[in-house]
Amino acid sequence: KAGVTQTPRYLIKTRGQQVTLSCSPISGHRSVSWYQQTPGQGLQFLFEYFSETQRNKGNFPGRFSGRQFSNSRSEMNVSTLELGDSALYLCASAGEAGEPTFRSYEQYFGPGTRLTVT
Amino acid sequence: QKEVEQNSGPLSVPEGAIASLNCTYSDRGSQSFFWYRQYSGKSPELIMSIYSNGDKEDGRFTAQLNKASQYVSLLIRDSQPSDSATYLCAVVFNQAGTALIFGKGTTLSVSS
């Protein structure tokens, strides 16, 4: 199976702009989670979507939002960009229908989108 | 707020030695635990999952879980230079979903 794909791989934006990142999960996976990775804070959970519904949300401001489509593809949006939003944004998918419950927690990551805010 | 703690390292071991990586977590109700490996400039890669107390072995990797002590560890036997990476410990955010809370990772360096 093809892995998780993310587009674009690199982005440079200016403070105040907004950005949309895209994630296509592994075929058959229904859950998509988004994470922000920075050298200082490590990997931090943003939000999780399952069947087009936000199932969990991390501790990030409302400028960060996301959605999931009926084909499980997901997008995240960051509005009014700040310098501190510069990070690697990772998406991960999990949860194939019919697999054992414990297996559904195993997440597989995409290559990430490197966002630089200037 | 769930927390996952790891020593940041670096942990340096010679080739062929056993590397021992440790992780503690704050939520006593946590049920699912994972180890990811992340090479510099790459995304995290799942290497082990463990759900029950005790040991789970997969090749050169052994994960150990002690829920009473809220402690998870990863042993890498016969360490190779290719094992040099950052190892991330993760627990499930809550059992109603698959989102993960990560520790900040331990950097392992294996010298030849």
Cα(B90)–Cα(B88) distance, integer angstroms: 6
Task: Pick from A107, A108, A113 the residue to mutate for testing the B interface (most B CBs within 10 Å).
Answer: A107
B92 → closest Cβ in A92, A105, A111: A105
Q: Are B36 and B87 in contact (CB under 8 A)?
A: yes
Query: What is the longest distance spanned by two Cα atoms in chain B?
Result: 44
Query: What's at A92, amino acid-wise?
Result: A
Q: How far is CA B40 from CA A4, A14, A39, B57, B87, in A?
A: 19, 26, 12, 25, 11
pLDDT, tens digit, 9 for 90 and up, residues B74-95 = 999 999 999 999 999 999 877 6
Q: Are B93 and A108 inside 8 Å of each other by CB?
A: no
Closest residue of chain B to A92, computed from CA coordinates: B99
**In the prediction, which pLDDT does A1 show?**
73
Q: Are A48 and A33 in contact (CB under 8 A)?
A: yes
A106 → closest Cβ in B49, B99, B101: B49
Closest CA to B97 of A112, A95, A71: A95
Closest residue of chain B to A94, computed from CA coordinates: B98
Local structure of residue B8 (DSSP, 8 states):
-
**In the prediction, which pLDDT does A97 show?**
66
Please tell me whether residue B83 adopts helix, strand or coil conformation: helix
Q: Are A55 and B34 inside 8 Å of each other by CB?
A: no
Instruction: Walk along chain A (118 residues) and give the pLDDT tens digit of each residue.
Output: 789 999 999 999 999 999 999 999 999 999 999 999 999 899 999 999 999 999 999 999 999 999 999 999 999 999 999 999 999 999 999 977 667 666 778 899 999 999 999 9
Please tell me whether residue A86 adopts helix, strand or coil conformation: coil
**In the prediction, which pLDDT does B99 show?**
82
Distance from CA of A52 to the nearest CA of B (A): 13
Cα(B24)–Cα(B88) distance, integer angstroms: 12
Q: Count CB atoms within 10 A of the CB of residue B99.
A: 28
